[in-house]
C-alpha cells in the first residue's frame, strides 16, 4: 500500500511540519509569557535523523497503517481515554479517524526522537510535537467528535447552545473553567479554618489560627506557601486542610498570606520578599509567642524563599528555626523538568528588559503556562466538555484554587528566573547576595524534612531529592504518590495513595527509591511524628490572637489579601 518513496515524502513533510509546529509552539509560549528563545530566533536548523530509527519507524508505521486499512470501517477501539466513550466505537468513521490520529501521533513523536541533536533541542522538538498533536486531536472538533455529536442529537441542540454560553462566559472571565467556580467563595467554603490576621505589611498578612485544644507545643509553627499561588491550597476544606491538621496536632500555627501584587508593588525585588516577608514573618511569630525557636515549612517556591531567608539569617549569626520542612521545593535547579525547555539567555534577558526594573508578571500568564504543560488534562479536556458537549464541570476545590491566579512583581520574578532556573546560583556558596548577605545553604544545619511527589512535573522527584546534598543537618526524605499538588494534599482520613521512606540517603534518587519501603496512606502521619519530636513540651494554649496592642487581631481569617483577584 505504501512505498519507500511514500515514506521519503512523508519524512520530508514531517520536517516541514515540525518546523511549522516548532514556530507555533514558540509563538504560543511568547503569548503565555515565555518568549522566543535563541533557538527560535530564525528557522529551525536542518534536521538530521538516525537512519536506523527511521527504518524502524517506517516498518512499524507501514505495518500498523496496513492493519488499520484492512480493518476498514471496523477498527479496534482506540486505547485512549479521549476516545473511550461508546459513541466512538459505535461510529466507524469516528473510530477510524481516532485510530489514524493516534498512529500519526506516535509516528511523529517517534520521528522527533529520531532527530540527532542535543538533549535540550530534542526535548523542545518533542514538546512542540506534543502541543501540536494535543491541539489537533479529532476529539477537539465538533465535526469529528462522535460523543459531542451524539449529545447534540439527544438534547436536540441544547448542548450546543449551552456550549456557546459556556464559551462566552469563559471569554468574559479570561480563562477556561475547570470547575463550577460559582459554587466556591474564599472564606465561606474554602479557607475556613478559624483564625485572625495579626500582622500585615504591603507584601503579606500573617494569620494566626485558633488552637483546637487547651494546650499547644511551645515551639510555634509557620507556613510559608508559594507566592505564585494563594495559600489556601493548604486550607481547602476542613477534611483536606493541612493547616487544620497541624492545628489539631497541637501546634500554634501561623501562615503567610501573600498579597496579590498590583501596580503598587511593581518594583519589589527578591530581597524585599526575603527581608520584608519571610524574615519579618519569622520575627513576628517569635515576638507574638515569645519563643526563641520556631518550626517552619516552605511549600514549592515558598520553600526556596524560606531557605534563602534562613541562609540570610545564618549569615547574620541568627538561627531562629529549630526544624524546617520543604515540600516539593527546588533548591538545586539542576533538574527542573519540562520548565527548563524554553529557559536560556535570550529568554531571561528578554524578561529582564521587559520587567526587570518594574512591572508585573500577570497571574494568568503563569496559570496558562502551567496548564499547557499537561494540555490534554488541563486544557483540551475542558474545551471538549465545556464547549462541545455543553457540560458544566463538577465542583472541585483544588481546581477552583488552580484558577485563582496571582500576579508577581517583575523585578522579583526576573531575579528568581536568572538565579535559580537559569544559573542555579543558590547552591553555589556566596554566589548570591540577598538582603546584604552572601547566601550559603551549607549553614542551614537544622533538622530538615524533605518531601517530593513521585509524578511531579513541576518539581521532579530528582529535583526535590537534590536538596539533601546541600543541607548539612539531619535529614529525612519522603516520597509521596501522585503529583505536585495532589501528592501534598493527601489527608490521612481518606486513606488514599502511598508514600515511601528510606533512612539511608544515597547519592541518587534512583538508588533511594530502589531501597525505599512503601507505606499505604498519607505521608502526613509520618511527618506529624517527625515534627512532634522538634516541637518541645506542651504549654497552655493562648486565649486570644496576637499579643498586646502591637499585634492585635486585624480581621478574621483568611483576611482580605487572599481575596484579591489578579
Residue 39's closest CA among 334, 415, 337, 341? Answer: 341
Report strand pairing: 321-327 vs 437-438. unpaired
Crossing angle between the packed helical segments 4-32 and 363-371, to the nearest 10 degrees: 160
Which grid cell is 323?
526544624
Distance CA 98, CA 145 (A): 9
Region of 256 on the Ramachandran plot (φ > 0 left; ψ -120 to 50 alpha; else beta): beta
The Cβ-side half-sphere exposure at 382, using a 13 Å CA radius, reads: 21
Burial class of 395 by CB neighbour count within 10 A (0 to 12, 13 to 18, 19+): middle
Q: Would you say 478 and 527 are in contact if contact means Cβ atoms under 8 Å apart? A: yes
Burial class of 106 by CB neighbour count within 10 A (0 to 12, 13 to 18, 19+): middle
Residue 438's closest CA among 446, 428, 430? Answer: 430
Strand partners of residue 520 = 498
Spot the catalytic one: 228, 300, 310, 360. Answer: 300
Give the SS3 label for residue 99: helix
Which grid cell is 311?
541562609
Tell me phi and psi for residue 253, to 5 degrees: -110, 135
Question: Could you give the residue ranges of the DSSP H alpha helices within 115-255?
Answer: 119-135, 146-154, 158-173, 242-248
Active site residue 227: no
Q: Would you say 148 and 388 are in contact if contact means Cβ atoms under 8 Å apart? A: yes
Which grid cell is 43?
528557522
**Quick one: CA torsion of 465, 233, 536, 295, rounded to 10 degrees?**
60
Which grid cell is 235?
486550607
| Cα distances (angstroms) measured from residue 278 to each of 256, 264, 538 | 8, 20, 26
Crossing angle between the packed helical segments 92-114 and 119-135, to the nearest 10 degrees: 170
Q: Would you say 104 and 65 are in contact if contact means Cβ atoms under 8 Å apart? A: no
Instruction: Quickly tell me which residue has 473510530 as its cell.
Output: 95
DSSP tally for the chain: helices H, then strands E: 20, 17
Which sequence positions are flagged as catalytic? 300
Amino acid at each position: 500500500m505504501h512505498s519507500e518513496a511514500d515514506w521519503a515524502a512523508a519524512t520530508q513533510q514531517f520536517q516541514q511540519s515540525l518546523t511549522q509546529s516548532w514556530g507555533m509552539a514558540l509563538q504560543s509560549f511568547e503569548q503565555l509569557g515565555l518568549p522566543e528563545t535563541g533557538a527560535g530566533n530564525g528557522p529551525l536548523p536542518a534536521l538530521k535523523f538516525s537512519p536506523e530509527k527511521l527504518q524502524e519507524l517506517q516498518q512499524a508505521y507501514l505495518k500498523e497503517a496496513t492493519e488499520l486499512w484492512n480493518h476498514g470501517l471496523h477498527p479496534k477501539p482506540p486505547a485512549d481515554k479521549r476516545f473511550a466513550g461508546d459513541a466512538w466505537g459505535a461510529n466507524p468513521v469516528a473510530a477510524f479517524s481516532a485510530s489514524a490520529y493516534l498512529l500519526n501521533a506516535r509516528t511523529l513523536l517517534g520521528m522527533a526522537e529520531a532527530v540527532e541533536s542535543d538533549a535540550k533541542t530534542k526535548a523542545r522538538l518533542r514538546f512542540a510535537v506534543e502541543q501540536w498533536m494535543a491541539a489537533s486531536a479529532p476529539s477537539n472538533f465538533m465535526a469529528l467528535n462522535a460523543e459531542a455529536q451524539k449529545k447534540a442529537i439527544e438534547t436536540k441542540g441544547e448542548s450546543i447552545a449551552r456550549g456557546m454560553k459556556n464559551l462566552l462566559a469563559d471569554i468574559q472571565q479570561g480563562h477556561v473553567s475547570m470547575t463550577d467556580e460559582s459554587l466556591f467563595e474564599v472564606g465561606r467554603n474554602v479557607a475556613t479554618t478559624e483564625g485572625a490576621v495579626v500582622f500585615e505589611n504591603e507584601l503579606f498578612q500573617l494569620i494566626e489560627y485558633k488552637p483546637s485544644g487547651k494546650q499547644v507545643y511551645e515551639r510555634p509553627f509557620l507556613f510559608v506557601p508559594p507566592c505564585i499561588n494563594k495559600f489556601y491550597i493548604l486550607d481547602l476544606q476542613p477534611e483536606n486542610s493541612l493547616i487544620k491538621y497541624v492545628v489539631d496536632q497541637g501546634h500554634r500555627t501561623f501562615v503567610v498570606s501573600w498579597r496579590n501584587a498590583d501596580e503598587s508593588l511593581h518594583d519589589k525585588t527578591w530581597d524585599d520578599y526575603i527581608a520584608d516577608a519571610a524574615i519579618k514573618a519569622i520575627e513576628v511569630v517569635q515576638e507574638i509567642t515569645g519563643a526563641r525557636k520556631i518550626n517552619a515549612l516552605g511549600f514549592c517556591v515558598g520553600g526556596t524563599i524560606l531557605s534563602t531567608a534562613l541562609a540570610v539569617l545564618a549569615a547574620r549569626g541568627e538561627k531562629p528555626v529549630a526544624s524546617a520542612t520543604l515540600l516539593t521545593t527546588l533548591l538545586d535547579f539542576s533538574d527542573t523538568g519540562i520548565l527548563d525547555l524554553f529557559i536560556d539567555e535570550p529568554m531571561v534577558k528578554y524578561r529582564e528588559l521587559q520587567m526587570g526594573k518594574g512591572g508585573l508578571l500577570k497571574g494568568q500568564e503563569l496559570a496558562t503556562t502551567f496548564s499547557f504543560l499537561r494540555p490534554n488534562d488541563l486544557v483540551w479536556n475542558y474545551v471538549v466538555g465545556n464547549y462541545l458537549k455543553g457540560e458544566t464541570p463538577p465542583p472541585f476545590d483544588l481546581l477552583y484554587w488552580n484558577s485563582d491566579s496571582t500576579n508577581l512583581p517583575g523585578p522579583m520574578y526576573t531575579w528568581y528566573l536568572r538565579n535559580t532556573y537559569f544559573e542555579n546560583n543558590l547552591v553555589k556558596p556566596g554566589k548570591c547576595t540577598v538582603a546584604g548577605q552572601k547566601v550559603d545553604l551549607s549553614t542551614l544545619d537544622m533538622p530538615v524534612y524533605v518531601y517530593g511527589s513521585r509524578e511531579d512535573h513541576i518539581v521532579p522527584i530528582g529535583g526535590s531529592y537534590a536538596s539533601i546534598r546541600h543541607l548539612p543537618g539531619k535529614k529525612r526524605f519522603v516520597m509521596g504518590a501522585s503529583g505536585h499538588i495532589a501528592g501534598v494534599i493527601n489527608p490521612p482520613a481518606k486513606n488514599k495513595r502511598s508514600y515511601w521512606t528510606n533512612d539511608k540517603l544515597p547519592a541518587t534518587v534512583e538508588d533511594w527509591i530502589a531501597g525505599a519501603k512503601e507505606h499505604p496512606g498519607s505521608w502526613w502521619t509520618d511527618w506529624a511524628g517527625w515534627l512532634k519530636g522538634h516541637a518541645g513540651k506542651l504549654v497552655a494554649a493562648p486565649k486570644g490572637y496576637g499579643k498586646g496592642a502591637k499585634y492585635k487581631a486585624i480581621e478574621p481569617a483568611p483576611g482580605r489579601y487572599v481575596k484579591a483577584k489578579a
